[in-house]
Structure 1
């Protein structure tokens, strides 16, 4: 039998170890994101308003640590961006602009890695950020950019509850009542995602309330 060089054996062993560990690493990363998502959902849908800001601040810190550990995982960055955007919204005022800007930067980085933006989630959050932030010189808010983000999200997930609700809210602010009504109805009729049922159902209720105002 032909002898195999020892160096090649070492390389093969190292490669085998890497391949064996990869599923475990992926599972660990997915589990951490799943835990972060569940606690975020509980915070934004069920926690009393006077407790949300501090909790989201802690979640944002945790998400940052996770992103530092997995800097090239789009899903991790998307959830960091979502948590930061929620924290900025809860803080409100000019003091939240820095946090909102951080959320924007993280989400745009995630889209560079995954152009689908987590099946549209990054684009929805970016659309809401560009819609709600003040424009220059104070902030980065821009209606045209918000429109583009929402349109891209709709291309990826046209029946999404979150996509249609936030786009409907944007259209209402823009004075386009017929289109706002259409997308609010689509949000009401949409199907909740299996991994986001709690937050999607909360948005469905908000879409029903919005529809009543249109």
Structure 2
């Protein structure tokens, strides 16, 4: 009877909404995909701003884990893409810092996603003196990401996109086709669908060039 009473007290003391790192991560990932691929363009910046606040809380809940930092950085960088201007520069610098911290904690977290995200930042943001863009660093980070997750949709897509920007069309096609053939990710169906549309757009661009 005493054991039952103690169990009841513990159950009542635990919020029914208490989650785990995995469930909290899945919620952030799903909401990011919804905003990125379903929310109208004019509403995306505000939606990403709200998600960035949620991601900040997620990071505070798990200060010793790399995954929340990676996903806060992803949210910040995509928000920056929608926001534009000087405010975007602050966001991408913050994103870079979060990714660098994630690498220090666990560089293999989420199959090396911090390397993928850092690589994509380095080739997409302007270079000096406006920002920190660096094509050589981008290549190194993206190749490291591929070494950790050679069949993943994201590292192959971003390396293919990087190569396309560099004018390496034959190699770009190779990695984009590999990205298109990447295995589906459980729970990431919407993200996979949206990413494949981006891959097809890049391949169509290559076919016209």
Shift of 1:90: 1.4
**Does residue 177 of structure 1 match 2:169?**
yes
Is 2:195 the partner of 1:211? no
CA deviation after TM superposition for structure 1 residue 81, in Å: 1.1
Look up the match of 1:105.
Answer: 97
- Retained in 2: the 8 A contact 1:162–1:200? no
- What residue is the counterpart of 1:68 in the other structure? 60
Q: Which residue of 1 aligns with 2:22?
A: 30
TM-score of the pair, normalised by structure 2: 0.85
User: Equivalents in 1 of 2:118, 2:192: separation in Å?
Assistant: 17
Q: What is aligned with 2:110?
A: 118
Q: Structure 1: which 5+ residue stretches go unaligned?
A: 1-23
Q: Deviations over 1:67-119 (max 9, x none)?
A: 12321111111111111111111112333011001111101111111121420
TM-score scaled by length of structure 1 = 0.83
Counterparts in 2 of 1:1-214, with a 5 A limit? 27-214=19-206
Q: Count residues with an aligned counterpart.
A: 191
8 Å Cα contact 2:107/2:114 also seen in 1: no
CA distance in 2, matches of 1:40, 1:207: 18
Aligned counterparts of 2:176 and 2:135: Cα–Cα separation in 1? 19
d(CA) in 2 for partners of 1:79, 1:165: 18
C-alpha separation in 2, matches of 1:47 and 1:83: 14
Aligned residues of 1:131 and 1:170 also touching (Cα < 8 A): yes
Structure 1 vs Structure 2 CA RMSD: 1.9
SS in 2 for 1:158: coil
Question: Aligned with 1:141: secondary structure?
Answer: coil
Q: CA deviation at 1:27?
A: 4.6
Q: Which has the higher contact order (CA 8 A, sep 6+)?
A: 2
Runs of 4+ in 1 over 3 A off after TM superposition: none
- Residue 39 of structure 1 deviates from its aligned partner by 0.9
Q: What is the rounded CA distance, in whole Å, between the counterparts of 1:210 and 1:98 in structure 2?
A: 28
Q: 1:140, CA displacement in angstroms? A: 0.7
